[in-house]
Amino acid sequence: MKKERASRILLAARTRRAIARTHAIRCVFLVMLGLSTSVYAEHVWHVVILPGADPTQPAAQQQIQAIRDSIASAAPDGAEFYTDSLDDLRFDDAELMPSFLALMKRKYEQKQVDVVIGLADFALDFTKRYHDEIWPGVPVVISSVAPARQKDIPAEFAYVPVDFDLDGTLALAETLQPNARHLVVVSGVAPLDLRFAQRGADAARARKSRQWAVDVWSGLTVPELQQRLAALDRDTAVLYTTMYRDRTGRTFFPYEVVAPMAKASNAPIYGWYPTYMGHGLAAGSMAGFETNGQLTGALAASILLGKVPPQSATVAASASRCVADVGVIDKLGLRADALPEGCELIDVPPSLWREYRDIVLIALAVVLLQALTIAGLLWQRRRRRIAEDEATLRLDELARAARFASAGELSASIAHEVGQPLGAILSNADAAGMMLQNEPDIDELHSILGDIRRDALRANQVVQRLRALLQKHPLKMDMLDLNSAFEEALTLLGLEARRRRIVIESNPAAENSRVQGDRVQLQQVLLNLAINAMDAMEDTPPADRILSISTRAVGQGYELTVADRGHGIPAGIGERLFDSLYTTKPNGMGLGLSIVRTIVMTHGGRVSAASRYGGGSVFTVWLPSAAEHASSHAREARPGFDNPTEKATLKARPTTQGGHT
Ligand code: ADP
In whole angstroms, give the CA distance from residue 526 to residue 484. Answer: 12
Q: Assign 40 a pLDDT band (cuts: 50, 70, 90).
A: low
Question: Residue 595 CA: which ligand 1 atom is closest?
Answer: 6
Cα(583) to ligand 1 centroid in Å equals: 6
Local structure of residue 245 (DSSP, 8 states): B
| pTM confidence score | 0.49
Closest Cα to atom 10 of ligand 1? 583
As a whole number of angstroms, the distance between CA 287 and CA 164 comes to: 6
Decide yes or no: CATH 3.40.50.12160 for domain 473-661: no
CA of 570 to the centre of ligand 1 (A): 10
Cβ atoms within 10 A of the Cβ of 117, count?
Answer: 30
Predicted pLDDT at 454: 86
Radius of gyration of the chain (CA): 55
Among 216-220, 408-412, 653-657, the range scoring the smallest mean pLDDT is 653-657
For atom 7 of ligand 1, the residue with the nearest CA is: 592
Q: Could you tell me the pLDDT band of residue 204, with boundaries at 50, 70 and 90?
A: very high
Q: Which residues contact 412 (CB under 8 A, 6 or more apart)?
A: 496, 499
Residue predicted with more confidence, 197 or 9: 197
Instruction: Give the C-alpha separation, 644 to 382, whole Å.
Output: 10
pLDDT at 563 over 90: yes
Rama region for 574: left / alpha / beta (φ>0; ψ in -120 to 50; rest): left
Tell me the pLDDT band of 36, cut-offs 50, 70 and 90: very low
- Index of the ligand 1 atom closest to the CA of residue 566: 24
264-289 confidence digits (pLDDT tens): 999 999 999 999 999 999 999 999 89
For residue 115, the cross-strand partners are: 47
Q: What pLDDT does 139 receive?
A: 95
Ligand 1 center from residue 404 Cα (angstroms): 17
Q: Residue 531 C-alpha to ligand 1 middle, in angstroms?
A: 9
Residue 136 main-chain phi, psi, to 5 deg: -60, 135
Which letter, b or e, does each residue of 32-71 get, where b requires 16 or more Cβ atoms within 10 Å of its Cβ?
eeeeeeeebeebebbbbbbbbbbbebbbbbbbbebbbebb
Domain definitions of the chain by residue range: 45-161, 166-286+319-349, 412-469, 473-661
Residue of 398, 409, 532 to mutate, ligand 1, most atoms within 8 A of C-beta? 532
Q: For 485-503, what is the mean pLDDT? A: 89
User: CA separation (Å) from 559 to 526, 550, 606?
Assistant: 12, 8, 10
Domains 45-161 and 166-286+319-349 agree in fold: yes
Distance 578 CA to ligand 1 centre (A): 8
For domain 166-286+319-349, give the CATH number: 3.40.50.2300
Q: Which of 44-48, 623-627, 648-652 is predicted with the least confidence, judged by mean pLDDT?
A: 648-652
Mean pLDDT of 98-110: 93
CA of 532 to the centre of ligand 1 (A): 6
Q: Does residue 257 contact residue 189 with C-beta atoms inside 8 Å? A: no
Average pLDDT of span 332-352:
88
- 588 CA: nearest ligand 1 atom: 3
> Closest Cα partner for 445 from 432, 427, 457, 428?
432
Bridge partners (DSSP) of residue 183 are 214, 237
Instruction: Please provide the average confidence, as pLDDT, over all residues in the chain.
Output: 84
- Specify the DSSP class assigned to residue 162: B
Average pLDDT over residues 67-77: 95
Nearest alpha carbon, ligand 1 atom 19 = 532
Which one has a higher pLDDT value, 531 or 658? Answer: 531
What are the pocket residues of ligand 1 if the criterion is a CB atom closer than 6 Å to any ligand atom?
528, 532-533, 536, 564, 566-569, 577, 582-585, 588-594, 617
Q: What is the position in ligand 1's atom list of the atom closest to the CA of 593? A: 6
What is the pLDDT, as a whole number, of residue 354? Answer: 65
**Mean pLDDT, residues 340-368 taken together:** 85
Answer with the residue of higher pLDDT: 484 or 642: 484
Q: Are 143 and 157 in contact (CB under 8 A)?
A: no
User: Which among 581, 593, 598 is the best mutation to test ligand 1's pocket, defined by most ligand atoms within 8 Å of the CB?
Assistant: 593
Higher local confidence (pLDDT), 498 or 114: 114
pLDDT digits (tens, 9 = 90+) for 168-199: 999 999 999 999 999 999 999 998 899 999 99
CA of 619 from ligand 1 middle (Å) equals 11
How much of the chain exceeds pLDDT 90, in percent? Answer: 54
Q: How confident is the model at residue 532 (pLDDT cuts 50, 70, 90)?
A: very high
pLDDT of residue 390: 76
How much of the chain, in percent, has pLDDT values that exceed 70?
87
Separation of CA 569 and ligand 1 centre (Å): 8
pLDDT band at 640 (very low <50, low <70, confident <90, very high): very low
pLDDT in tens, 125-149: 999 999 999 999 999 999 988 878 8
* Cα–Cα dist 255/243, whole Å: 8
Tell the CATH superfamily of the 45-161 domain. Response regulator (3.40.50.2300)
Closest residue by Cα to residue 634 from 621, 624, 623: 624
CA–centroid distance, 582 to ligand 1, in Å, is: 8
Dihedral angle sign, alpha carbons of residues 477, 480, 486, 489: negative
Q: Cα(573) to centroid of ligand 1, in Å?
A: 11
The protein residue with its alpha carbon nearest to ligand 1, atom 14, reads 583
